[in-house]
Amino acid sequence: MSLTALICDDSVLARKQVKKSLPEGFAAEILTASNGLEALDILSSQEVGVVFLDLTMPELDGIGVLEAIKARQLKCVVIVISADIQPEMQKRVAELGALAFIQKPVNSDKLAHIMHQYGLI
Amino acid sequence: MDAHWLAMPILQQLNSGVLVLSTDYGISFYNQFIERRLGVPLAEVRHKSVFDVFTDLPEAWLKRKLDSVVALNAPTFSSWEQRPYVLKLPHLRPVSGGSDYMMQNCSMLPLVHPHTGETFICLLIEDATDVSIYQLELQRNMQALQQANRLDGLTKLYNRSYWEQLLQSEVLRAKRYHQPLSLILFDLDKFKQLNDDYGHLGGDFVLIELASFIQSLLRESDFLGRYGGEEFGIILPNTSQSGANEVAERICRQVAAHQLLFNQRIIRATISLGVAELNPHRHQEAHDLLQCADVALYVSKRQGRNRSTCYRDDLQKVLQKVN
Amino acid sequence: MTMLTPDQQDALQELMNVSMGLASDQLARFLDTLVHLQVPAMQVVRASDMPAQLRELYADKEAHLISQGFIGPAGMQGEAMLLYNFSSAKQLAAILGYQQSEVSDAEMLTDISSILTTTFLNSLAAQLGSTLSYSAPRQLNCQNNQLVERLQALASRWNVALQVNIQYQVTDYAFQCDMILLIPGTALQTLQQQLDDILQDY
């Protein structure tokens, strides 16, 4: 599968955790961004299949990224990975077109289950 | 050494109570500490609801606590200072310190059965009766000390600094709630003469006797204090000037009629009084009210003593005439 | 003064965010209401510098200080303090569903604080692969501007202060409080080791 994945989180640890939790050989390339603006830069310059997106970030937060993806009609799918799991937030994220919502701390079982559910693996 | 066998004997002989409940409040275990004080063998009440076995448990409160231990998988605590005891158990102290029951600190902890995964709640009961007794004694001593700080050593009336604090707060209260407030200042007449005639012991005797006599003429809510050497003050909350004047006139008459027996000699003492009512617009502070009462007292002295005067604005002129 | 490397600081902030998320989820389920906790800022300072920093934050405010000891393996121990500046603990208690006749103000405040502290620290410890036990919470009297004095007395026993500002939202009612974890230098070393282990894992 020649899919490109993007992990967007302001925490180095969180990015590493997601990267390590991804099923092996799932993506051809894994890119990272430490805030929303960086993520949008990458999304506008190359094709990305799936974005793993944190919500609370400096510069531009996850909601901002989702809004921009929707406005620009980008084709990537988004899986939100957040510590902030209040139902209102989950609802908002779903309305903005996110595929799924995963509560931190992320682990490979959780991630594999969700990705399997949505046919990503 | 295999330490496993230690657990049960230590649990039984522990000088703290251990009570283990299931999540539906059934008794699973309690140790000897509780068993002996409760007087009921564990076998008789095992699996019964804790609320049926321990009467007088604060049910709503305890359920809330126990539920939080299970739901949050986190401990919760109860201190004797907030709630004297959780389990009603006798204490073994010779001196009770006012309570017939054991004061307790209680920790409620989540326990998970290592094999079945079932959750239990462990209540650890520490006897805090001793601590509570010391604390109570300390509080009593502090209170006695504070009381002593407020009293005049000779007359046992409020001393000047505390009486002035009271006046300050009564003035604020009267202003806030739009209630009347009056003040009486009085002075023992010819105190120097008394001291010359009967000696300082005689003078002190008169001060002590009059203080307790006048105290007996007042309401509970009035505050009598020793303001200076032979000068006293009475704060009369919720009292208008006319009401305060009646009180002042009565005190003046009764003191004059009161005979004091000192070393087989009869002493007759009189007092002069000044009355003033708080004027919330003109009196910014307690001090302004004190000054008005002082002017009225001065007029009483000038006009021949053994009398009471109410403050009026034209009293200053009266004073000038007398002078 | 930096006591943590940038990587450790990043990892700890992330673990704290996740712990707060887990704690608010647990609290929301328990209270059956919307609870939202966030940790926007966390800093590690010398314990002796802590009182002065908090003095500014709590100047001219009625402060409530609740303290609770904790202890874990490998020298991990300390004191968790919660500092509130809202004048009405009753309002919060009412939102949390406490009956006012049922408990005293002091008990309500220690109860709420203990729940917040233990759920948060339990989550944090679990992520660090550890567990903690707690002493009973106690409210420290800080009327008449005794707050700084109190904090100084507490700080003198420890070397390091982890200062965590918590944004707390329960239904429509929002307030902030500060959690200060006072720990000895040896506990900081343990914490650094645990963070390094986690960083190494990924």
Residue C161 belongs to domain with CATH number:
3.40.1550.10
Q: B82: domain CATH number?
A: 3.30.450.20
pLDDT in tens, C112-164: 888 889 999 999 999 888 899 999 998 887 765 677 788 888 778 888 888 88
Is the same domain home to B173 and B222?
yes
Compare all CA atoms of chain A with the CA of C17 and give the residue at the minimum distance: A83
- Residues B300-320: what's their mean pLDDT? 87
Rg (CA), chain B: 33
User: Which residues in C80-110 are b (16+ Cβ under 10 Å) and which e?
Assistant: bbbbbbbeebeebbeebebeeeebeebbbbb
Rounded-to-integer distance, Cα B105 and Cα B127, Å: 7
pLDDT at residue number C97: 64
Compare all CA atoms of chain B with the CA of C32 and give the residue at the minimum distance: B71
A44 in contact with C, Cβ within 8 Å: no
Is the same domain home to B303 and B200?
yes
Rounded-to-integer distance, Cα A55 and Cα B210, Å: 80
Residues of chain B neighbouring C108 (CB-CB closer than 8 A): none
What are residue B208's phi and psi, to 5 degrees?
-65, -45
> How many percent of chain B have pLDDT more than 90?
74
B16 in contact with C, Cβ within 8 Å: no
Is the same domain home to B52 and B155?
no
pLDDT at residue number C98: 67
Is the same domain home to B28 and B161?
no
> What residue has token string 């049960």?
B8
Asked, for residue B82, whether it belongs to a domain, the answer is yes
Rounded-to-integer distance, Cα C23 and Cα B71, Å: 11
pLDDT in tens, B227-247: 989 999 999 999 999 999 999
Last residue of a domain, one of B73, B102, B135: B135
**C positions 15-54 inside 8 Å of B (CB):** 26-27, 29-30
C114 in contact with B, Cβ within 8 Å: yes
Q: How far is B259 from chain C (nearest CA, A)?
A: 49
Residue ranges of chain A whose pLDDT lies below 70: 1
Choose from A54, A56, A81, A86 for mutation: most chain C CBs within 10 A. A86
Cβ-count burial of A88 within 10 angstroms (0-12 exposed, 13-18 middle, 19+ buried)?
Answer: exposed
> What residue has token string 């779903």?
A94
Nearest to C16 by CA among C35, C54, C53, C44: C44
C20 in contact with A, Cβ within 8 Å: yes
Q: Do the chains contact at A104 and C7, CB–CB below 8 Å?
A: no
pLDDT at residue number C95: 62
C198 in contact with A, Cβ within 8 Å: yes
pLDDT at residue number C185: 85
Most confident stretch, A107-116, B8-17, C98-107:
B8-17
More confident residue, B258 or C157: B258
Rg (CA), chain A: 13
Rounded-to-integer distance, Cα C185 and Cα C158, Å: 8
Q: B157: domain CATH number?
A: 3.30.70.270
pLDDT in tens, B61-110: 899 899 989 988 999 999 998 889 999 998 887 665 567 789 999 999 99
- Band (pLDDT 50/70/90 cuts) for residue B44 is very high
pLDDT at residue number B322: 58
Check if the beta carbon of residue B152 is closer than 8 Å to that of residue B158: yes
- Residues C195-199: what's their mean pLDDT? 90
Domain membership of residue B230 as a residue range: 151-322
Check if the beta carbon of residue C121 is closer than 8 Å to that of residue C79: no
Is the same domain home to B109 and B11?
yes
Check if the beta carbon of residue B64 is closer than 8 Å to that of residue B84: no
Chains B–C, number of C-beta pairs less than 8 Å apart:
49
Neighbours of chain C (3+ CB pairs under 8 A): A, B
More confident residue, B91 or B300: B300
More confident residue, A68 or C89: A68
Rounded-to-integer distance, Cα A6 and Cα A62, Å: 13
Q: How far is C8 from chain A (nearest CA, A)?
A: 9
More confident residue, A105 or C173: A105
Q: Chains C/B: 3 or more C-beta pairs closer than 8 A?
A: yes
Asked, for residue B141, whether it belongs to a domain, the answer is no
C119 in contact with B, Cβ within 8 Å: yes
C201 in contact with A, Cβ within 8 Å: yes
The number of folded domains in chain C is 1
Asked, for residue B140, whether it belongs to a domain, the answer is no
Compare all CA atoms of chain C with the CA of B108 and give the residue at the minimum distance: C136
Asked, for residue C194, whether it belongs to a domain, the answer is no
Rounded-to-integer distance, Cα B53 and Cα B87, Å: 10
Q: Do the chains contact at B82 and C122, CB–CB below 8 Å?
A: no
User: What is the CATH architecture assignment of A4-117?
Assistant: 3-Layer(aba) Sandwich (3.40)
Run of H or E including B8: helix B7-13
pLDDT at residue number C1: 46
Choose from B23, B61, B66, B76 for mutation: most chain C CBs within 10 A. B76
Catalytic-role residue among B35, B230, B249, B285: B230
Is the same domain home to B156 and B289?
yes
* C-alpha separations of C72 from C116, C138, C191 in Å: 18, 20, 11
pLDDT at residue number B91: 83
Neighbours of chain B (3+ CB pairs under 8 A): C
Residues of chain C neighbouring A12 (CB-CB closer than 8 A): 7, 10-11
pLDDT at residue number C101: 66
pLDDT at residue number B246: 96
Q: Do the chains contact at C136 and B83, CB–CB below 8 Å?
A: no
Is the same domain home to B88 and B118?
yes
Asked, for residue C171, whether it belongs to a domain, the answer is yes
Check if the beta carbon of residue B233 is closer than 8 Å to that of residue B160: no
The number of folded domains in chain B is 2
pLDDT at residue number A52: 95
Rounded-to-integer distance, Cα C60 and Cα C64, Å: 13
Cβ-count burial of B62 within 10 angstroms (0-12 exposed, 13-18 middle, 19+ buried)?
Answer: buried
Q: Provide the edge-to-edge strand list for the sheet that holds A4-8.
A: A29-33, A4-8, A50-53, A77-82, A100-103
Task: Report the C-alpha dihedral over residues C3, C6, C8, C10, rounded to 10 degrees.
Answer: 130
pLDDT in tens, B150-177: 999 999 999 999 999 999 999 999 998 9
Asked, for residue C202, whether it belongs to a domain, the answer is no
- Band (pLDDT 50/70/90 cuts) for residue B214 is very high
User: Looking at the predicted structure, is the pLDDT value of residue C94 above 70?
Assistant: no
- Residues B17-33: what's their mean pLDDT? 97
A20 in contact with C, Cβ within 8 Å: yes
Asked, for residue B145, whether it belongs to a domain, the answer is no
Is the same domain home to B246 and B119?
no
In sequence order, which residues have a C-beta less than 8 Å from that of residue C24 and are 6 or more positions away?
Answer: A85, A86, C35, C36, C37
- Residue B230 annotated in active site: yes
Asked, for residue C132, whether it belongs to a domain, the answer is yes
pLDDT in tens, C12-70: 999 998 998 888 888 777 777 777 777 767 888 888 888 887 777 776 667 788 999 99
Residues in chain C: 202
Q: How far is B246 from chain C (nearest CA, A)?
A: 42
- Residues B249-253: what's their mean pLDDT? 96
Rounded-to-integer distance, Cα B212 and Cα B214, Å: 6
Is the same domain home to B288 and B172?
yes
pLDDT at residue number C92: 64
A91 in contact with C, Cβ within 8 Å: no
pLDDT at residue number C27: 78
> What count of Cα atoms within 13 Å lies in the side-chain half-sphere of residue B52?
11
DSSP string, B253-269: HHHHH-EEEETTEEEE-
Q: Do the chains contact at C27 and B105, CB–CB below 8 Å?
A: no
- Residue ranges of E strands in C104-158: 133-134, 138-140
pLDDT at residue number B48: 96
pLDDT at residue number C145: 64
pLDDT at residue number C129: 87
